[in-house]
Chain A
Amino acid sequence: MTATSTEPREPIVSVRDLQVRFQTTDRRATVKAVDGVNFDVRRGETFGIIGESGSGKTTIGRALVFLLKPSAGAILHDGVDPTALSRSAFRSHRRDYQIIFQDPNAALNPRMTILASVLEPLELARVGSKAERERQAREALERVGLPQEFGARYPHQLSGGQKQRVVIARALTLRPKLIVCDEVVAALDMSIRGDVLNLFADLQRDLGLTYVFITHDLAVVSHISERVAVMYLGQFVELGPTEEVAERPLHPYTIALLSAEPRPLPSSMRTDARIVLQGEVPSPIDPPSGCRFRTRCPHAQPLCAERAPDWRELTPDHWVACHFADRPNFSPN
């Protein structure tokens, strides 16, 4: 198989032993939203992170652009630790690392025109003259496929897909190197999704952007990403090239996740081999000992409760955290 693309490129982001903890509101307990995650994002790639609600994928996304401070571990941008920078150096540094969220309604001020919204980051960054800023903002709108006259409109006059384009345009104004995309197409109707995903692909090709694409949607992540990480209860359970993970998954959770996805195929083409996981994700306040997936894993053994599995590279570029991932006959079918 394929696209273990070229030799590894130099990482634009390195994440080492990342932990993010939150206090519950009554301050009695600590939620380990992200608990020991390691990965690199390579320059120019689309790195997908997939997981169910509460897996910590959004927390990782926010930490990557330092909207959240890691509780432990390090995130390096281009080899630089942004937390070591001075305040002003940090402010200009973070322009290169943008984030886009799911709901464009929440991201746009209903009382600002589209142009004013797109201009705002340029004004805050004090880029060029007023005329120069306006030119750049209009360019960004054009780049995402919105006609000139949209600049004068207000968010309520736009459809969901158009609003998401505005948000993308705004993220582009400061010419970032990397954009974290957190469920950016989840709120869009399916006929519009394709358009927006195509736009992301075009922008990446034209501007050399790197994306971290966070989603719960397997079809979206497998379509757009070169590599994909599967997250469960604050940790990565598998990471590898998309084709590998989608077609030869190693971790029982990935296998179950893939088989649980409803596929729009006629009955003759659907497999009977369907694994329906029992139960739901345990609480991240008190995760299971050893392997966190063991309480729902169809193959759990005593060892799984005793010891957390190592994060290991089972085949080149394909990582997994499971004691038994390399055993033959591991697959349930």
Chain B
Amino acid sequence: MGTGRPAQPGAEGARDGARPLMSVRGLGIRFKTAQGVWQATRKIDFDIAPGERVGIVGESGCGKTITGLSILRLLPGNFAGLDGKILFDGIDLASCSARQMRAIRGKRIAMIFQEPMSALDPVFTVGHQIAETLRVHTDISYEEARAKTLEMLRRVGIASPERRIDDYPHQLSGGMRQRVMIAASLICGPQLLIADEPTTALDVTVQAQILELLRDISETSHTALMLITHDLGVVAETCTRMITMYAGEVIEDASVDEALVRPLHPYTSGLLRSLPHLCPRHGRLPSIPGRVPSIAEMPNGCRFRARCAHAAKGCEAEQALQDAGGRRVRCWRFAELNLPGALHPPGPAAAPMVARQ
């Protein structure tokens, strides 16, 4: 049994000052469909500092997964084009050669997914699959690769790794498979780990183990983490910064604490208000009326305005992601709105599910 600790307050990755590890500028992704070319995401701007842990949150279809995939150029077949830049240590990942990309993918930037079973090959041992990354990217002997694999399996908390290294994926439980995926992604010591819903398929007690592992690894080896999730609780426990996406755009970018306590965008506030955790038991849950606009008929201006309780005249105008004192928000009314966050109303209702101390 171990004792977990919540994510530290404040971005130790330091948003300002330190040179960012990765800068995404004006990123947009287009897809070919039978109805023509659709713009899935647009004008995505954000930085990730070395060692920083950033959560990308949003509901299904908001473009968070495709943004993660586009960083590694793992794009589906109907992909029609990429706009903007993804600067990673001086290299533009959006336009670099396939050869350059291969040298980065898996070595300097790694990715893990929701369902480890579909990411692991059932006919190879887990040891083989972890060492494969190492052998592709480095000149390393079989023995050395095996020794490093063993060390990594131990590092991700797999008991008796000498025995597990020769197991096949089906012999492992869901939590152990995700640990194996994390071991494989970290074996080359990447500077950035992109984790797309890494715990969504896991039980809550196992989820706590994996989140603790990710946080721990990021802290000890200074690996930046880009955690893509729909779960605001997961972000609060793991990350220091939170980027909220809606309908293919970044709509808010702030430290986790700021975003939870005082969200600036009505959508972020609405999401927080709709969580049952924050609502008096048996009370009515606030919800956001309507639904996300279809990708085929995106409105002009603010994409959230049809569902927004604060929509006003100027919302038809294009919304820029503007600076709001060290954080950014895509809403021209942010300064005049005083939106509730996770602590409003304050008091016992704010935290009903707390284990006794």
Contact = CB atoms under 8 A, between A and B. Distances in A.
Asked if chains A and B come from one complex, the reply is yes
Interface of A: 52-53, 159, 161, 189-195, 197-198, 201, 216, 218-220, 222-224, 226, 242-243, 246-249, 255-278, 280-281, 298, 331-333
B211 interface: yes
Interface in B322-357: 342-343, 350-357
B356 A331 contact: yes
A304 to B, nearest CB: 15
Given A194-B274, A257-B204, A276-B1, A268 B59 contact: no
Nearest to B211: A262
B6 A223 contact: no
A48 to B, nearest CB: 12
A94 B308 CA distance: 44
Interface string B72-104: 000000000000000000000000000000000
Given A262-B236, A264-B272, A331-B356, 17 more contacts: A193-B276, A220-B276, A246-B352, A249-B355, A256-B205, A263-B233, A263-B237, A263-B351, A266-B257, A267-B256, A270-B6, A271-B355, A272-B3, A274-B3, A276-B2, A280-B176, A298-B1
A201 B283 CA distance: 9
Contacts of A275: 1, 3-4, 355
A190 B205 contact: no
Nearest to B258: A266
A267 B8 contact: yes
Contacts of A265: 236, 260, 342-343, 350-351
A95 to B, nearest CB: 28
A198 B234 CA distance: 24
Contact of B353 (A219, A226, A272): A219
Given A246-B353, A272-B5, A331-B356, A262 B282 contact: no
Given A194-B285, A267-B9, A261 B233 contact: yes
Size bracket of the B interface: 35 or more
Q: Nearest 7 pairs between A and B by C-beta?
A: A262-B233, A194-B285, A194-B287, A274-B4, A52-B203, A223-B276, A260-B208
B261 interface: yes
Nearest to B280: A223
A216 B203 CA distance: 8
7 contacts: A190-B59, A190-B271, A260-B207, A261-B233, A274-B208, A280-B173, A280-B206
Contact of A260 (B176, B204, B232): B204
Contact of A198 (B203, B261, B285, B343): B285
A271 B271 contact: no
Contacts of B286: 194
Interface string B262-298: 0000000011101111110110111110010000000
Contact of A249 (B275, B281, B356, B357): B356
Contacts of B272: 264
B353 A278 contact: no
B315 interface: no
Nearest to A54: B203
B60 A264 contact: no
Given A255-B355, A265-B236, A223 B204 contact: no
Nearest to B59: A189
B7 interface: yes
Contact of A222 (B59, B173, B211, B353): B353
Nearest to B286: A194
B212 interface: yes
A41 to B, nearest CB: 17
Contacts of A219: 275-277, 353
Given A189-B59, A223-B285, A276-B4, A258 B353 contact: yes
Nearest to B291: A159
A281 B176 CA distance: 12
A273 B351 CA distance: 14
Contact of A262 (B173, B234, B271, B274): B234
A216 B235 CA distance: 19
A99 to B, nearest CB: 22
Contacts of A242: 281
Chain A CB within 10 Å — which of B270, B275, B279, B355 has the most? B355
Given A218-B204, A266-B257, A271 B354 contact: yes
B319 interface: no
Contacts of A243: 281
